[in-house]
Amino acid sequence: MFGKQISDLMIKPGKSPVFETPEKYNLEYEDVTFKTTDGITLSGWLVKGGTSKVIIQSHFGVQCSRCGFTQEGKGMMKNALWTSDIHFLNHAKYLTEAGFSVLMYDMRNHGNSEQTGWVSWGKDERKDVLAAVNFISSHQDYSHANIGLLSICMGQGASTFAFGLEDMKQFKNLKTMISVQPLTYDYFVKAMGLPNFLVNSGNKYNKEKRNTDLTGDAFLPYVKNIHVPTLVIQNSNDPMTNIDMVKQYFDALDVEKEMLWLDLEKKRGAAYSWLGENSEPILNWFEKYLK
């Protein structure tokens, strides 16, 4: 029983509704769908700014969708992550106002995208990142646009897996990435303060009942395969990660890189909320590489 409960908390989909739309922010957009190489239909918005620069957002996992995080229905996670809803359309607004278009999509098992099983913390979702980049690269209006990735938590894990396990170098227009709060599953589970017998029970249930093994180094061995300039953003007071692991991620990057440490409230969601309120570092990085 405990194993299933822990597994449900960490990898069970269906906790990430699309709770608002760009219309609320007076943004021009279109609803889009596209397929992954393994046949999964993903749902998203193409929020329109300009046609020469596109940001692809990959959101964080389990509790989140393309538009962010809502506390409604979150139970014990309601205040553990952040003290209010997190609105990703805030950063979509300042990006489009600066001339970027933004592809905001739901990864598999999140939001309005196809439900396929269990959240894999990035390994399967790498195919979603690949599909998103391919969608923009082959779009009649954006095929010549330069692309930047805004990859958040599990979204950056999925992006890192994609660099390591997919042919991302085929996309000559993929120019840069912002990696927000890298986090591996094992450190997150430890940070939840669960006793080892519960963690082990959850891992055992994942493997035996859900054919999902989330133990080990996750995406870390593939950081060396990232081939575009990368900005890493991390709240130094984040209680749900291991700062040495974040430093390991940054040190393994073999590209132009910068580390932006934030001094925010002691909650993981503080950095996600910060994204929508602090445009300057985000715009400066993307404008530098998406000319």
Residue 7 lies in a domain: no
| Residue 161 belongs to domain spanning | 15-186+213-289
- Asked if pLDDT for residue 2 goes beyond 60, the answer is no
Q: Answer yes or no: is 85 within a domain.
A: yes
Q: Write down the pLDDT at residue 116.
A: 87
d(CA 272, CA 282): 13
Total tally of structural domains belonging to the chain: 1
Domain membership flag for residue 9: no
CATH number of the domain residue 110 falls in: 3.40.50.1820
Give a yes or no: residue 70 inside a domain.
yes
Query: Is 203 part of a structural domain of the chain?
Result: no
Residue 168: what residue type?
A: M
User: Which H or E element spans position 80?
Assistant: helix 78-81
- List, for residues 110-155, the tens digit of each pLDDT value: 999 999 888 888 899 999 999 999 999 999 999 999 999 999 999 9
E strands, 131-268, where?
Answer: 146-152, 174-180, 230-235, 257-262
Residue 62 domain flag: yes
Q: Return left, alpha or beta for 265; rule: phi > 0 is left, psi -120 to 50 is alpha, else beta.
A: beta
**Domain-located, residue 226:** yes
Comparing 188 with 60, the larger pLDDT belongs to 60
Q: Is the pTM of this model over 0.85?
A: yes
